[in-house]
Amino acid sequence: AQSVTQLDSQVPVFEEAPVELRCNYSSSVSVYLFWYVQYPNQGLQLLLKYLSGSTLVESINGFEAEFNKSQTSFHLRKPSVHISDTAEYFCAVSASGTYKYIFGTGTRLKVLA
Amino acid sequence: NAGVTQTPKFQVLKTGQSMTLQCAQDMNHEYMSWYRQDPGMGLRLIHYSVGAGITDQGEVPNGYNVSRSTTEDFPLRLLSAAPSQTSVYFCASSYSLAGVYYNEQFFGPGTRLTVL
């Protein structure tokens, strides 16, 4: 079975500052890893995913995440945040080739002016 | 493409009432799921389907039924609503390539359900 831990429930950060949202997982099999973003009163949207290959994956809006197998982590980072990045971010894991996802409890990112 | 649509957006029920949350997708995805989202608990899988006529239980299936008679539709039925079912419900769909599933899920906008 897989599990996901997002250590921070809320992260306040000032605009243009860097941010890291932490995600750790546990699994006895190889996994695929995902970050989803949820803006207020909306559904979830895929931000980025790791399936295989390069351990550093990037999104089109400046976020990146690095798969670290030895530390079983998939932390999300952005070097300079904007007010529009204010949202809830969910880390998710699925066993390779299976459909069922396990989501973390989410991290609320609040960007302050 | 409308993507994944859900109706209604909001619903208030009394304890013991039944209702069906509708979910439809127009992307010809074979995989569909229902999740509930509760504060501090993330999203939890209720039921899922890997194709028309095939459904299975997720993490929190009690009190919910599903069926999948077509590829497009995946309704979620609450048989006898309870206050513990107050939540935001999301439907999602996904697909595989060359028989291998590894892709993202596409989420609907959600249904906010309150059970009094």
Test A51 with B101 for CB contact under 8 angstroms. Answer: no
A96 interaction partners in chain B (CB closer than 8 Å): 102
Q: How would residue B104 be classed by pLDDT, with cut points 50, 70 and 90? A: confident
> Mind telling me how many Å the CA of A97 is from chain B's nearest CA?
5
> Mind telling me how many Å the CA of B111 is from chain A's nearest CA?
10
Q: Taking CB atoms and an 8 Å cut-off, how many pairs form between chains A and B?
A: 52
Name beta bridge partners: B25: B4
Per-residue pLDDT tens digits for B1-59: 789 999 999 999 999 999 999 999 999 999 999 999 998 888 999 999 999 999 999 99
pLDDT at A42 over 70: yes
Interface check A34 vs B, CB under 8 A = yes
pLDDT at B98 over 80: no
Of A42, A90, A97, the CB nearest to B101: A97
How much is the mean pLDDT over chain A?
92
Q: What's the pLDDT score for residue B1?
A: 75
Of A46, A51, A105, the CB nearest to B42: A105
